Structure 1
Amino acid sequence: MTLVKMPYSKKFINVSIPDKNLIKILESKAHNYKPELSQEKIVHRALNNPIKSKSLEELVRGKNNVVVITSDHTRPVPSKITMPIILQRIREVNPNIDIKILIATGYHRPTTKEEMINKFGEEIVKNEIIINHMSKNKDDLVKVGILPSGGELWLNKIAMEAEVLIAEGFIEPHFFAGFSGGRKSILPGIAGAETILANHCSEFISSKNARTGVLKNNPIHTDMLYAAKVSNLSFILNVVIDKDKKIINAFSGDSEFAHAKGCNFVKDLSKVDNVKADIVVTSNGGYPLDQNIYQSVKGMTSAEACCKQDGIIIMVCACNDGHGGQSFYDQMANAATPKEILNKVLKIPRNKTIPDQWEFQILARILNKYKVIMVTDMCDPQMIKNMHMDHAYSFEEALNKALKLKGENAEVVIIPDGVSVVVK
């Protein structure tokens, strides 16, 4: 038997696979990458060497105000390390500057105070001005242009009124934007609901270029780049993290060029072979990305790339926060089959995109070809079954179900962290 540690919520669980079945473990090299410097020193090194940009200090010197965009509660950005450094360096050259921290919630719910404390630490939450972006509050938005795809670009008014706009984030493979980080702080991060919906339309999601690790000719990425430029995003700090959510590298400077350099670093570490199997086991990387079914679709796409026809995906994902989106759940639960969902969504025009459409479109794409068994003891099994998936309380139960369906000699591939790899 081979024992593999799988991230699950805020811990790891051990899964055992018979040696006769296991053919490959696919893992990002980032998980075993050993940086020479501490996390803090890595961040300072990046800020001391901005890419195609003035330094952070030069940008804020003499200015009256700055807005710092940060990711929300669904992203494992190590803000307890990065944010104090950003604030310190700004105030060292401009002690009286007005600073606002804007949480890029995109289309998600607001981040709670408890989640803010978990993300930033009590001191920052107590002493700083922190604002949740609200994509559906039209009074909080301003129209700043037309996207290359033709949609109206509405962005957060506070960000657009800032003298200096900067963003922190992290870079990992992303299942339709190619990579996270960089321009995503603006779109979808601080964009209006209508803008986000248009950018995430079925036409773009079904594009062969809207895939993990792909930026070239990716229509979603093209819109996002434009949004970052029009917003006058002056500076980014993007980090790369390992399986323990520790910083292993960081990139700062111009929102396009610093991000591109970071993406190349991540791609080199995260590329894995496309090994086809009857059963593919994966996860969503643990907390915070495995809090709900909505987010779990990301990890499933890595397994999708390795599944043989009519294969089985075993998804180890806590989903303690439930489905993650009412529209997402309703669209899945109210359809007779995943194929029905696909047929319906592909007929929806770009300007009529509905909430969570991109997520149920991708999940339906996966379920139309493969069976998914969700492993969790933190979520209502009936909810999972209503969404056309199977449920197991333990990995052992899921594997037994899969082997009964595919045979005792079925080949198994394990991707311990599905959101960290680019399957080639």
Structure 2
Amino acid sequence: MTTVKLPYGKEKLTLELPEDELKGVLTSQTHEYTVEKSEKELVKEALAEPIGTPTLQELAQDKEEIVIISSDHTRPVPSHVTMPILLDKIRAGNPEAEITILVATGFHRASTEEELRDKYGDEIVDNERIINHDCRDEDSLVEIGTLPSGGDLILNQLAVEADLLIAEGFIEPHFFAGFSGGRKSILPGIASKKTVLANHCAEFVGHDHARTGILDGNPMHEDMLYAAEEAGLDFILNVAINEEKKVINAFAGHYQEAHLEGCDFVTKLAGAESKPADIVVTTNGGYPLDQNIYQSVKSMTAAEATCNENGVIIIASECSDGHGGEGFYRTFAEAETVPEVMEEIEVRGRNETVPDQWESQVLARILLQFEVIMVTDAPREMVEDMHMKWASDIDEAVTMAKEIVNNDNPEITVVPDGVSVIVK
């Protein structure tokens, strides 16, 4: 038997498979990448020699209103490491600067105080100005132009009016933006509902280049780059992380140049050759990425890339926060069939995009090709409402999958952390 550990919430599940059934285990080398330096040393070195910009201290010297865009509770950015260093560097350049941490919620709900304390630590929460972006609060937004795609570019006013705009984040493969990080802090991070909906339209999400690991020719990426330029994003700090969510490299400086260098680093480590199988088992990388079904669609795309036609995808995702999007849930719960979901999405124009449509579109694409079984703490009824099957544990899921493919000894591929891998 071969044993594979699967991230699940803050714990790990154990999957045991006979060696003759295991086709392959697809992992990112980021999880095995070792570095002699500490997380803080890596971050400080990146900030000391930024790519394409002066140092943060130099940039901050004559700036009064400084905004740091920071990823929200759904992203495993180690802000308890990065944020104190960013604050120190800014204040070393300008001790009198007024600093605001703007939480880039994108289309998500606001981060709670408990989540903020978990992310930044008590000292920062107690002493710094932290504001959650709200994409629906028109009073906090300002229109600054038109995206290349034709959508209105409307962003958080605090960020647009800042004397110095900084963003922290992390770089991982992303299922339609190519990679996270960089320009994504602006769009969708601090964009209005209207702008996010225009960018996440059916046409773009369905584009052949809107896929994991692809930036060139990706229309969503092109809109995002434009938004970052128009917003005046001056400086980024992006990190690459391993399975334990520890920093293994850091990239600082120009929002595009530094980001591309980080993407190159991640690409070299994250690529894995496809091992097609009738059953593919994956996870969404554990907490905080597996807090809901909405986020869990991302790892399903890694499984999709290595699953045989009419195969079964098993996704182990804790989903302590339930479905993660009311519109996303209702789209499936109120539809009799999955083809009905896809047909309704594909006829919508860019300005007719509805909330959570992009996630629904990708999930529908997967469900049209494969059966999906969820091992999750989410209610069974919720999972089944969304046209997936529910299993109480990983062994039950494997048994169910074997029955579906009608094979007691099928080939099974495991992608232990689907959000960290680019399946080739």
- TM-score category of the 2 structures, normalised to the smaller one: over 0.9
User: Which letter maps to 2:403?
Assistant: K
What's the CA shift for 1:60? 0.3
Aligned to 1:322: 322
Equivalents in 1 of 2:75, 2:204: separation in Å? 23
Equivalents in 2 of 1:184, 1:227: separation in Å? 9
Aligned to 1:14: 14
Aligned to 1:261: 261
Aligned partner of residue 289 in structure 1, secondary structure: coil
User: Which letter maps to 1:129?
Assistant: R
For 1:114-263, list aligned pairs within 5 A: 114-263=114-263
1:44-74 Cα offsets, whole Å, 9 max, x none, are: 0100110011111111012212000000000
Unaligned runs of 5+ in 1: none
Equivalents in 2 of 1:372, 1:66: separation in Å? 45
More deviation, 294-303/14-23: 14-23
Unaligned runs of 5+ in 2: none
1:390 maps onto 2:386 in alignment? no
Equivalents in 1 of 2:119, 2:277: separation in Å? 38
1:217-246 Cα offsets, whole Å, 9 max, x none, are: 000000000000000000000000000000
Equivalents in 1 of 2:117, 2:416: separation in Å? 28
Equivalents in 2 of 1:309, 1:173: separation in Å? 24
1:349 maps onto 2:346 in alignment? no
Equivalents in 2 of 1:93, 1:193: separation in Å? 35
Aligned to 1:56: 56
Equivalents in 1 of 2:212, 2:110: separation in Å? 27
Equivalents in 1 of 2:52, 2:63: separation in Å? 21
Equivalents in 2 of 1:142, 1:88: separation in Å? 30
1:232-261 Cα offsets, whole Å, 9 max, x none, are: 000000000000000000000000000000
Equivalents in 1 of 2:186, 2:347: separation in Å? 28
1:295-346 Cα offsets, whole Å, 9 max, x none, are: 0000000000111010000001001111101100000111111111111100
Aligned partner of residue 419 in structure 2, secondary structure: helix
User: Which letter maps to 1:397?
Assistant: E
Equivalents in 2 of 1:236, 1:226: separation in Å? 16
- Aligned Cα root-mean-square deviation (Å): 0.6
Equivalents in 2 of 1:36, 1:145: separation in Å? 45
**Alignment identity in percent?**
54
What's the CA shift for 1:23? 1.0
TM-score (normalizing by structure 1)? 0.99
Aligned partner of residue 382 in structure 2, secondary structure: helix
Equivalents in 2 of 1:18, 1:408: separation in Å? 11
Task: Check the 8 A contact 2:56/2:93 in 1, yes or no.
Answer: no
What's the CA shift for 1:175? 0.2
Aligned to 2:309: 309
Aligned to 1:298: 298
User: Which letter maps to 1:194?
Assistant: K
Aligned to 1:404: 403
Aligned to 1:29: 29
What's the CA shift for 1:405? 2.1
Equivalents in 1 of 2:216, 2:175: separation in Å? 14
User: Which letter maps to 2:401?
Assistant: A
Equivalents in 1 of 2:19, 2:200: separation in Å? 41
User: Which letter maps to 2:136?
Assistant: K
What's the CA shift for 1:93? 2.0
- After TM superposition, what 4+ stretches of structure 1 lie above 3 angstroms from structure 2? none
Equivalents in 1 of 2:149, 2:62: separation in Å? 37
1:164-223 Cα offsets, whole Å, 9 max, x none, are: 000000000000000000000000000000000000000000000000000000000000
Aligned to 2:3: 3
Q: How many residues align?
A: 423
1:105 maps onto 2:105 in alignment? yes
